[in-house]
Amino acid sequence: MDKMENIKPKSNFLKRIYLSFIMFFLGRAFRSSNIDKNIKKQILQLPENFSFCLKIERANIDLIIEKKNNRFIIVNSKSKRDEDIDLFIIFKNIERAFLVFTFQISAFLSYAQNGLIIKGDLQKTMIIMKILTLLEVYLLPKFIAKRVIKRYPKWIFFYKLFNRFLIYFRIFIGI
Amino acid sequence: MYFEFYNPVKICAGDTALSNLSNELEFLNCKKCLIITDNGIEKSGLLKYVIDSFYNANVKIGDIFTDIPPDSDKDVVNKIADIYREKNCDSIVAVGGGSVIDTAKGVNILVSENSSDLMKFCGANILKKPLKPFIVIPTTSGTGSEVTVVAVIANRETNSKMLFLSPFLLPNVAIIDPVMTLTLPPFLTAATAMDALTHAIEAYICIGKNMLSDAYSFSAIKLLSKNLINVVKKPDDRNGRLNLALASTMAGIAFSNSMVGLVHTIGHSVGAICHIHHGVAMNILLPYVLEYNLPKVGNYIGELLLPLVGEDIFVVTPTNERPAKVIEYIRYLQKNLFDLVKLPRKLSETGKVLESQFEEIANLSLKDASLAYNPEDADIEDIIEILKKAF
């Protein structure tokens, strides 16, 4: 028997579980994101039925989002062919995704370090990255968000608090 | 800390570098090449040097296309691709500045993918396989396009610019011969060199910076600072011309691996809306954007004083004063270039920019991918503020 058959690369099970959870969470966050007027303004710049896929290479983790009626919906990855997706934002490997989703580095820095592969229109990529940044303001405590956001926005405290509550509420309820 | 650095382009540089053209094509197993250039290159006599380099060579010239407009256009790309197929060429040689090189990159996409629809390949990393053999001979010292993974081609139907980004766009060989930049007028020499300086500086201060691109940026800035004014004063200085061309190539390698930031973000939009020369826009915006980025990356800006002014001034300047000194030196350089060739230092001096266009410029800037690489975020008000200062 070929001894190479016994050599099996190990998968990092815990990181995969964590990233799968984050992608699920992020999908719901995108779905709730139109609550904020700044995010809504960004969504309006995308064409209707525009779809994008956030994917972690070699980890079988992906998230497909589509714009319908000026808000985002989550699309089942089995129901959409790759050719029908307008934009792919792909993390090259599980480690690069883990750095971004444990908020050690920003998505922009990962992009600048070639940790992300973009396939599609760069202008629309910028819009998605901007939305992701704004979502981070709502989803993360300020001291963590400040590490991954170039400039923390100066929003009215109660406006941010109210929207944060609404976004979290919709994430947990799943609407 | 993580970075990637990629530059597989073979660089033939120096006196008589052009004589290697046919050898390089033979190494790439080419039999018949298509030369793409513009009218200016033909009229200035530079094309003759290129043609002469094929004397007794085993590679033949399939055709020469000389009608490239200043703004690369997808219809022109299609037209040239048809000529390539009709003449059974197997390789492309681009002789010119940014527009010619980007057009040639577009042609290479179409002929390699056997397509007539350039739109299909627009965006990042759409290309899947290596393209046809491609050699670039730059005739300006600014764009660095001979070593970059990017091409920008206009789409007149949608009145927009298509951006192509792929490592497969890189040419196989870049030939840097000082004779090819000798006839570049002093004004364009100054504008394109300021473009190269901006590439090198932005590559050094933006978030994609890394140790290898830093080394290229440093060397490029040193060469530009030492040679720019001399060459503008004495355009026939071959050694100075070669140094500027090499600086431009090094700055190109640097920014192709770490990208550029807000100077380019705004510069692209000013160019698209007001039609001012890219190098002129870079020259005007550079000090204002450096001031804007100062609170975030003042330390990196300060380090650039060494290649800009040399160690004598660098060592006697206190660390906390170095960033301001860098900006002061760039303004001094601008003043000299204005006195010598009237290179505009303000948007108002171009005569093409109106204050009423600021909002449109700022809105377009926010969609530019280079904004992602800038160390400081910028919104519409920030960009309008920079434009007002630069007006």
Taking only the tens place, the pLDDT of each residue in B292-336 is 999 999 999 999 999 999 999 999 999 999 999 999 999 999 999
Residues of B at the A interface, defined by Cβ within 8 angstroms: 2-4, 122-126, 163, 165, 206-208, 210, 258-259, 296, 366-369, 371-373, 375-377
> Which residues from B are below 8 Å from A114, CB to CB?
3-4
Q: For each successive 10 residues of chain A (175 residues), what is the average pLDDT?
A: 75 90 94 91 93 91 93 87 89 92 92 87 90 93 92 89 91 82
- Across the strands, what pairs with A88? A53, A119
Q: Does the beta-carbon distance from B372 to A123 stay under 8 Å?
A: no
- How many residue contacts between A and B have a Cβ separation below 8 Å? 61
Q: pLDDT tens digits, residue range B271-280?
A: 989 989 999 9
Rg over alpha carbons for chain B, rounded to the nearest Å, is 20
* Cβ B34 vs Cβ B84: under 8 Å: yes
Joined tokens for residue A56? 């972690």
- Cβ contact B95:B37 at 8 Å: yes
ipTM value for the complex: 0.88
Chain A interface disruption, residue of B6, B168, B207, B383, most A CBs within 10 A: B207
User: For residue B123, what are the β-bridge partners?
Assistant: B164
Strand B160-165 with B134-138, pairing: unpaired
pLDDT in tens, A68-108: 998 999 998 788 888 889 999 999 899 999 999 999 999 99
**DSSP-derived 3-state class of residue B164:** strand
pLDDT at B389 over 60: yes
- The length of chain B in residues reads 391
CB–CB of B171/B146 below 8 Å? yes
Question: In a 10 Å sphere around its CB, with 0-12 CB exposed, 13-18 middle and 19+ buried, how is residue A7 labelled?
Answer: exposed
Per the DSSP assignment, residues forming a β-bridge with B128 are: none
Query: What residues of chain B lie within 8 A of the CB of A109, using their CB?
Result: 207
